[in-house]
Amino acid sequence: MSEAAATRQQRKVRQAIGEGPATRFVLLTIALAFLGLMLVAPLLVVFVEAFGRGLGVYFQALALPDTMAALQLTLLVAAIAVPANLVFGVAAAWLIAKFDFKGKSFLLTLIDLPFAVSPVVSGLIFVLLFGANSALGPWLEDNNIKILYAVPGIVIATIFITFPFIARELIPLMEQQGSSEEEAAVSLGASGWRTFFQVTLPNVKWGLLYGVLLCNARAMGEFGAVSVVSGHIRGVTNTLPLHIEILYNDNKAAAAFAVASLLAMLALVTLAVKTLLEARFAGEIAAQRRH
Amino acid sequence: MTATAPDGARSFRWRRRSVLPGFGLSLGYTIVYLSLIVLIPLAGLGIRSASLGWDQFWAIAFDRRVLLALQLSFGSALIAAIINTVFGVLVAWVLVRYRFPGRRWLDAAVDLPFALPTAVAGIALATLYAPNGPFGALLDDWFGLRVGFTSFGVVMALIFVGLPFVVRTVQPVLEEIDRETEEVAATLGARRWRTVTRVIFPALLPAILTGFALSFARGVGEYGSVIFIASNLPFQSEIAPLLIVIKLEENNYAGATAIATIMLVIAFVMLFVINLLQAWSRKWFGHE
Amino acid sequence: MQVRAVNISKRYVGIAALDDVSLTVQPGELVALLGPSGSGKTTLLRTIAGLEHPDSGTVYFNDRDLSDSRIQDRGVGFVFQHYALFKHMRVMDNIAFGLRARSKDKPKESEIKRRVLELLDLVQLSGLERRFPAQLSGGQRQRVALARALAIEPSVLLLDEPFGALDARVRKDLRRWLREIHDRTGHTTLFVTHDQEEALELADRVVVMNKGKIEQSATPDEIYDTPATPFVFSFIGESSVIPVQVGNGRATLDERLLDLDIGNLPDGPAQLYLRPEDVVMVTDGGPGIPGLVVSTRRIGGMRRVTIECGLARHRIEFDAPAEIPINNSQRLTIRVIGGRVYGAGAEGYETEKLAASATSDFKWAKAEGWLDR
């Protein structure tokens, strides 16, 4: 066969199992354009608007007392919600990935619930539960416990919105790993905790880290549910996302974008870590497939 | 909840016994946590809603303003989900099948709407599509299309928040499809288009539908990114979640509860449909 | 340590994995559990280890009832089919895991190190203690898994398809080597396999299982020479099956008398099971069964011939010397010099069933994610 004929033959084979170069180019261009317009452009706008009027204005906006208060509250909320959901996520993943029992799929549906429920509805259910005209309301008031329009309410709403993230990250990972390493550990005499900390945890640590980061990003960024339960009290119950809304509606767009850029950077760090972890994972998977 | 006792589980037949420890502890903890965070608050909404009575419930639900808000939420979520399905499958295809510089970073960017707070996305989109914003002005000049502060804007915001769902459900399935099945189709004489539509697409269908349903469900409930780009005028560009907030601010708990109940029931139906789709996919194609 | 499993039953969603199975393994014995997939052999092994809980029945080590003992306290060395090495630990930490996990009389770290090096020497992996499992070949991983199981000085050693995932050459080497290790350490050892050659070559005693029951438990010679059931006959080695008639203490094929011991089978239809060496070609014109050659193929120094004989054209395979030319459609005469007759109704091992269970095995392996590793 001549070289030209061989090349022709090769091209024919490639076309049968893939697309031609022209089709590839068109598909790739459409995908890039779509992602560029829909995802990258909004992200760029945040930073352009935030830094557009110079670094001085940027840091001035961040240094406002209300902004600092919002930042502190956001950090506090995340510091409570993320560890709580970490313990839950690990317990739920262990339960679902390692055991067979009736009602498992119902439990999974329950864990998925916050993904499907509107954040506003999530906030509302806590308003109805703790509000003045609820069953609990008068009792809370008598005992001088403030949940709604105060920090505890924000924390609870945030926990509700973010509790699936760590569990959802761990469950498929632990299911895919199977149980034979754990079985080997207990057959060698290891206790349950030893098996968990020395065998299970090292195998899922990177997935767990990403779950924690994503949970944290969502906890710091939650808007709808927190908006409903917070009562928008400036300097007291304003988290960063609520603060962004107030600044934006007050026509302080530059300040709003300055604050927004903080959360956008958090999102970017989260995604960067995920990408790096996946690169690492891929290496490990390749090592496993070598034999 | 008797099963929280570690050895109490022994007499039960509803689970396979396992040598791994911690069943009682993890089950007990999970159930208590879910009860406190999810079940009890949801039951509260249910009780509140039931105490409204049918007449009051229907009066609120069939109020014109409520109907229009629900219509806007569902309609724009539907349009956004359709657009996301088309482009999401395309993006997943490009990410899985093609190799190009920066692919890994583009792949990471798909998750941006998961990680970026909705309020940040909201003000960014509002600025982009405002009549004097970079995209808003262009669209107005070229097509006479007003996006910002109209119901187009609502759709735009919902496309943003729903995009990752389709890509992330289709992508792993596409990765799992054996290249050999395509090669077989080619050796059997199928042209590329036929291979794609008859061999690959049917295998992807459950994942595509799941992604569509997730994207749709997310869009119906979305609040943060929409309120900045929509003008939020009653009867025109007011989404259902916003109406709940407005009713709450008016101390109209009955109104808020009724709308929330409708949305919650629909969320449950969506979850149920998604679970069915996934069970179907597992059964016929052996993947999740 | 003597291992006794008594009246073990276990069901999975309505299917009996083990149906009232009893088995005794004598101290120091090397026993193979042999059977097709789905026969319950792995379930039995895991039940003895304590990884599965039987629905009924009891496992004893010597005379200790293990029903209420935790797996941690049983002291079984279990080697998993896919090794289940701790991926994130070096070889030495894998082997030392069981020693470090001891709650009482845990050895000193220097003692642990000494033991690990000793075991590495035993499994011929000296020098690899700082490697990670991913940096080892399949055979090396298998040996690390064995060293890890031996480190806890187990009372019994249980191996689940120990060579299943290795290629043919490595399997053969490891087989010989496992036998040597067993002879040196003297552990009571039980291993699961679906490979009859492996079971016959390696074990002191072979336990053949089918559909959750034990078909036969005997020495390799007895298993091959006097299979107790048609299943054992057809699962071990090559076999042809032809229906025969039993009457007056004799077996007949198409009214020709066969010179076979039929034990005390009742009169009526029966099945004759033949190995290739149970049939010879008649070349001296003597009496025999005429047949028509349908295919021949060369196997090593012999020629494997398939002929059709009798009115119902039953197929029989036998070996003929390679130097005799035999062609398709040639007529020739054979004589049955061996074989076993079983009563009608007993079932042999059918290859169709193998195909079906192989698919389900494949799906199962896929579900477990094992095919990807």
How far, in whole angstroms, is CA C350 from its chain's centroid? 16
The encoded tokens of residue A219 equal 């906890």
C270, C243 Cβ separation under 8 angstroms: yes
Give the pLDDT of residue A12. 63
Query: DSSP 3-state assignment of C307?
Result: strand
Residue B149 CA: distances (Å) to CA of A247, A254, B180, C152, C231: 19, 20, 50, 72, 78
Residue tagged 């009232």 (tokens): C20
**CB count in 10 Å sphere of residue C367:** 13
Does C363 lie at the interface with B, CB-CB under 8 angstroms?
A: yes
Integer Cα distance of C107 and C116 in angstroms: 12
**Which pLDDT band, with edges at 50, 70 and 90, does B30 fall under?**
very high
C178, C145 Cβ separation under 8 angstroms: no
Binary contact (B117, A263; C-beta < 8 A): yes
Integer Cα distance of B16 and A41 in angstroms: 52
Euclidean distance between the first and the last CA atom of chain A, given in angstroms as a whole number: 37
Maximal CA-CA distance, chain A: 94
Clarify whether residues C50 and C69 are in a common domain: yes
Long-range (24+ apart) CB contacts under 8 A made by C117-125 are C119/C95, C119/C147, C119/C150, C119/C151, C120/C91, C120/C92, C120/C95, C120/C147, C122/C147, C122/C150, C122/C181, C122/C184, C123/C147, C123/C181, C124/C177, C125/C91
Clarify whether residues C244 and C333 are in a common domain: yes
Does C50 lie at the interface with B, CB-CB under 8 angstroms?
A: yes
Chain C contact partners (≥3 CB pairs within 8 A): A, B
Per-residue pLDDT tens digits for C96-137: 999 998 877 888 999 999 999 999 998 889 999 999 999 999
Per-residue pLDDT tens digits for A100-134: 888 888 898 889 888 888 999 999 999 988 887 77
Give the pLDDT of residue C354. 42
Range C246-275 average pLDDT? 83
- C3-12 β-sheet, strand order: C15-25, C3-12, C56-61, C64-65
- At residue A60's C-alpha, the angle toward residues A57 and A64, to 5°, is 145
Clarify whether residues C122 and C246 are in a common domain: no
B16, C17 Cβ separation under 8 angstroms: no
The residue segments making up the domain with residue A193 are 54-289
Mutate to test the interface with C, among B19, B20, B281, B283 (most CBs of C within 10 A): B19
Lowest-pLDDT choice from B16-20, C92-96, C174-178: B16-20
Give the pLDDT of residue C246. 87
Of C207, C211, C180, C176, the C-alpha closest to C191 is C207
Clarify whether residues A77 and A171 are in a common domain: yes
**Which pLDDT band, with edges at 50, 70 and 90, does B259 fall under?**
very high
Clarify whether residues C214 and C266 are in a common domain: no
Integer Cα distance of C373 and C362 in angstroms: 14
Per-residue pLDDT tens digits for C231-244: 999 898 888 888 88
Q: pTM for the full model?
A: 0.83
**Which pLDDT band, with edges at 50, 70 and 90, does B2 fall under?**
very low
CATH of the domain at C310: 2.40.50.140
Clarify whether residues C189 and C80 are in a common domain: yes
Residues of A in contact with B257 (CB under 8 A): 124, 128
Give percent of chain B with pLDDT exceeding 90: 36
Integer Cα distance of A93 and A108 in angstroms: 10
Does C372 lie at the interface with A, CB-CB under 8 angstroms?
A: yes
Integer Cα distance of C78 and C157 in angstroms: 6
CA distance C100 to chain A (A): 9
Find the residue in A nearest to B253 (Cα): A128
Lowest-pLDDT choice from B29-38, B146-155, B248-257, C273-282: B146-155
Clarify whether residues C192 and C299 are in a common domain: no
Give the pLDDT of residue B13. 58
Give the pLDDT of residue C368. 39
The encoded tokens of residue C206 equal 């072979």
Give the pLDDT of residue A11. 64
Per-residue pLDDT tens digits for B61-99: 888 999 999 999 999 999 999 999 999 999 999 999 888
Clarify whether residues A14 and A88 are in a common domain: no
- Facing residue for C71 by CB, picked from A176, A180, A186: A186
Range C291-302 average pLDDT? 88
Q: Final residue of a domain: which of A51, A77, A93?
A: A51
Output the CA torsion C82→C88→C92→C95 (10° steps).
Answer: -40
Clarify whether residues C221 and C257 are in a common domain: no
Of B220, C146, C85, B28, the C-alpha closest to A118 is B220
Clarify whether residues A162 and A121 are in a common domain: yes
Residues of A in contact with B90 (CB under 8 A): 27, 30-31, 34
CATH of the domain at A274: 1.10.3720.10
Does C366 lie at the interface with A, CB-CB under 8 angstroms?
A: no
Give the pLDDT of residue C298. 87
Does B115 lie at the interface with A, CB-CB under 8 angstroms?
A: yes
Binary contact (C367, B19; C-beta < 8 A): no
Q: Report residues of chain A scoring pLDDT below 70.
A: 1-3, 5-6, 8-17, 232-235, 282-291
Clarify whether residues A45 and A65 are in a common domain: no
Q: Final residue of a domain: which of C203, C230, C257?
A: C230
Give the pLDDT of residue C221. 93
Looking at this protein, which amino acid is placed at residue C123? V
* C136 falls within a domain: yes
CATH of the domain at C152: 3.40.50.300
* C369 falls within a domain: no
Binary contact (C50, B19; C-beta < 8 A): yes
Integer Cα distance of A97 and B257 in angstroms: 36
Kindly tell me if the per-residue pLDDT of B247 is higher than 70: yes
Q: Final residue of a domain: which of C188, C215, C230?
A: C230
Give the pLDDT of residue A113. 86
The domain tally of chain A equals: 2
Does C228 lie at the interface with A, CB-CB under 8 angstroms?
A: no
Give percent of chain C with pLDDT exceeding 70: 93
Q: Final residue of a domain: which of C230, C260, C284?
A: C230
* C24 falls within a domain: yes
Q: Choose between B105 and C96: higher pLDDT.
A: C96
Range C181-205 average pLDDT? 92
The encoded tokens of residue B164 equal 């990752």
Kindly tell me if the per-residue pLDDT of C3 is higher than 90: yes
Kindly tell me if the per-residue pLDDT of B60 is higher than 70: yes
Give the pLDDT of residue B4. 36
Kindly tell me if the per-residue pLDDT of C357 is higher than 60: no
Range C45-66 average pLDDT? 91
Clarify whether residues A161 and A274 are in a common domain: yes
Give the pLDDT of residue C367. 39
Clarify whether residues A31 and A164 are in a common domain: no
Give the pLDDT of residue C121. 92
Binary contact (A110, B39; C-beta < 8 A): yes
Query: DSSP 3-state assignment of A204?
Result: helix
Which phi and psi angles does C31 have, rounded to 5°? -120, 135
The domain tally of chain C equals: 2
Binary contact (A188, C97; C-beta < 8 A): yes
The residue segments making up the domain with residue C333 are 235-347
Clarify whether residues C23 and C145 are in a common domain: yes
Clarify whether residues C262 and C219 are in a common domain: no
Clarify whether residues A67 and A162 are in a common domain: yes
Kindly tell me if the per-residue pLDDT of C289 is higher than 50: yes
Clarify whether residues A8 and A87 are in a common domain: no
Clarify whether residues A159 and A283 are in a common domain: yes
Clarify whether residues A167 and A200 are in a common domain: yes
* C273 falls within a domain: yes
Clarify whether residues A30 and A76 are in a common domain: no
* C355 falls within a domain: no
Clarify whether residues A208 and A277 are in a common domain: yes
Per-residue pLDDT tens digits for B199-237: 788 888 888 998 999 999 999 999 999 999 887 777 878
Clarify whether residues C191 and C269 are in a common domain: no
**Which pLDDT band, with edges at 50, 70 and 90, does B180 fall under?**
confident
Residues of C in contact with A289 (CB under 8 A): 372-373
- Facing residue for C101 by CB, picked from A176, A188, A284: A188
